[in-house]
């Protein structure tokens, strides 16, 4: 009896390590089998011990500082569970690491919305959240949840914040009237050669290449024209930036005077007194971010942490700190005045005025377009 039970426990351990069952199921099955048979194995003590930490990987900088200060530190003080943090500058970087890692090594990712969500799902890295363990999800905007549920009815992620990638410009060089008139054309204006920046991301480059050629980024008819527009901008660019911290540094030191930029990072510069204007031209890229729980994570603890992060007081404090509006529905939760003034804030909770990427459309083209963007970035 003990031999067969031991083999069963070993099989359960293999399934858990491979990510085929979550931690909660693993613990319940092993505990039941051990109690019934009286079997004791060396690995069972550590395996059955209470989770003492959760891993989180995010964007770093002011965004992660706000999450740490207003969410993680209070959560640890309340529960005793430590949040171990990592950072990345581009989500492709963390996806590569997840692919190479064992299940459970990476747990919660501050991910960039549905266009990345579908890539985790296609790779088999998604989990299944028990929404009953996250009661604060009832306050999250349905308009943000719906696109995720269209991909997986049982969610692996919870929307947390949103923003836009618009145009930032130095008001000492470019008057607001000129910026509003020219819009995306500022990114290819020869007057600002070697003073132009841009995010080193295929999605952003193709999106603004499409807008620059008068096309719908979610239904591009002439991709060759987009590549030519990207080349045109490349030859004018001072530097393609790779993180929010680098973006802020380039703008604050006036190494660049115009760039596509993340709304929250621009808001932070404006609060510091920098002469930076910001506009969202028609069709500018809007995005939502989510807390993605990967397969093999300690689900109960991850769900508890996300629920804590969605507490209105916590979510609003984080939003004020990182300068991105929270995912909470403003028709259900009263927002602070600072949140209401943030770029991209939607007071209706419907998000109808924002333009998001069509996840299915972009997923079809991601590999080919990424290869072409990489070639152009190298000078092709």
Instruction: Print the domain residue range for 148.
Output: 53-162+288-359
Kindly state whether residues 309 and 169 are assigned to the same domain. no
Kindly state whether residues 301 and 316 are assigned to the same domain. yes
Kindly state whether residues 57 and 108 are assigned to the same domain. yes
Asked whether residue 179 is domain-assigned, the answer is yes
Nearest to 147 by CA among 358, 4, 300: 358
Q: Spell out the residues 6+ positions from residue 236 whose beta carbon is closer than 8 angstroms to its own.
A: 188, 189, 190, 192, 193, 194, 196
Kindly state whether residues 120 and 199 are assigned to the same domain. no
Q: What is the mean pLDDT of each run of 10 residues along the chain (380 residues)?
A: 60 62 59 57 50 94 94 96 94 95 96 95 97 98 96 97 97 97 97 98 97 98 98 98 94 98 94 96 95 97 97 98 97 97 93 92 95 96
Looking at residue 39, its pLDDT comes to 54
Kindly state whether residues 149 and 64 are assigned to the same domain. yes
Query: How far is Cα of residue 317 from the mean position of the Cα atoms in its chain?
Result: 18
Query: Which two tokens mark 54?
Result: 């959760």
User: 344 near 114, Cβ under 8 Å?
Assistant: no
Kindly state whether residues 73 and 144 are assigned to the same domain. yes
Residue with tokens 């596509």: 260
Q: Please state the domain count of the chain.
A: 3
Looking at residue 43, its pLDDT comes to 45
Identify the H or E element spanning 176. helix 176-182
Looking at residue 89, its pLDDT comes to 84
Query: How would DSSP label each residue in 80-129?
Result: --EEEEEE-SSHHHHHHHHHHSPTTSS-EEEE--HHHHHHHHHTT-B---
Measure the N-to-C terminal CA separation of the chain; round to a whole number of Å. Answer: 67
């Amino acid at each position: 009896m003990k031999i067969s039970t031991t083999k069963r426990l070993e099989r359960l351990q293999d399934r858990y390590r491979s990510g085929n069952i979550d931690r909660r199921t693993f613990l319940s099955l092993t505990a039941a089998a051990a109690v019934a048979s009286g079997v004791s194995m060396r690995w069972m003590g550590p395996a059955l011990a209470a989770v003492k930490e959760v891993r989180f990987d995010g964007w770093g900088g002011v965004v992660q500082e706000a999450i740490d200060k207003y969410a993680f530190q209070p959560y640890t003080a309340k529960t005793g569970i430590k949040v171990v943090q990592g950072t990345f500058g581009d989500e492709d970087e963390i996806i590569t690491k997840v692919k190479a890692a064992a299940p459970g090594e990476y747990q919660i990712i501050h991910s960039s919305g549905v266009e990345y969500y579908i890539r985790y799902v296609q790779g088999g890295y998604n989990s299944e959240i028990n929404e009953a363990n996250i009661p604060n999800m009832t306050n999250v905007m349905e308009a943000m949840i719906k696109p995720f549920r269209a991909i997986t009815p049982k969610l692996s992620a919870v929307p947390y914040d949103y923003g836009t990638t618009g145009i930032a410009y130095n008001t000492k060089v470019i008057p607001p009237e000129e910026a509003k008139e020219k819009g995306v054309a500022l990114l290819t204006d020869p007057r600002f050669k070697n003073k132009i920046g841009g995010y080193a991301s295929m999605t952003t480059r193709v999106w603004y290449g499409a807008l620059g050629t008068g096309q719908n980024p979610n239904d591009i008819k002439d991709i060759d024209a987009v590549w030519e527009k990207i080349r045109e901008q490349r030859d004018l660019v001072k530097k393609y930036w790779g993180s929010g911290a680098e973006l802020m540094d380039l703008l604050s030191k006036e190494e660049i005077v115009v760039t596509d930029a993340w709304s929250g990072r621009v808001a932070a510069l404006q609060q510091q007194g920098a002469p930076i204007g910001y506009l969202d031209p028609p069709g500018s890229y809007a995005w939502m971010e989510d807390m993605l729980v990967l397969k093999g994570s300690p689900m109960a603890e991850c769900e508890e942490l996300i629920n804590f992060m969605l507490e209105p007081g916590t979510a609003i404090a984080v939003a004020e700190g990182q300068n991105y509006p929270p995912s909470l529905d403003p028709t259900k939760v009263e927002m602070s005045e600072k949140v209401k003034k943030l770029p991209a804030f939607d007071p209706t909770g419907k998000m109808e005025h924002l333009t998001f990427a069509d996840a299915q459309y972009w997923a079809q083209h991601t590999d080919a377009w990424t290869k072409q963007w990489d070639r152009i970035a190298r000078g092709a």
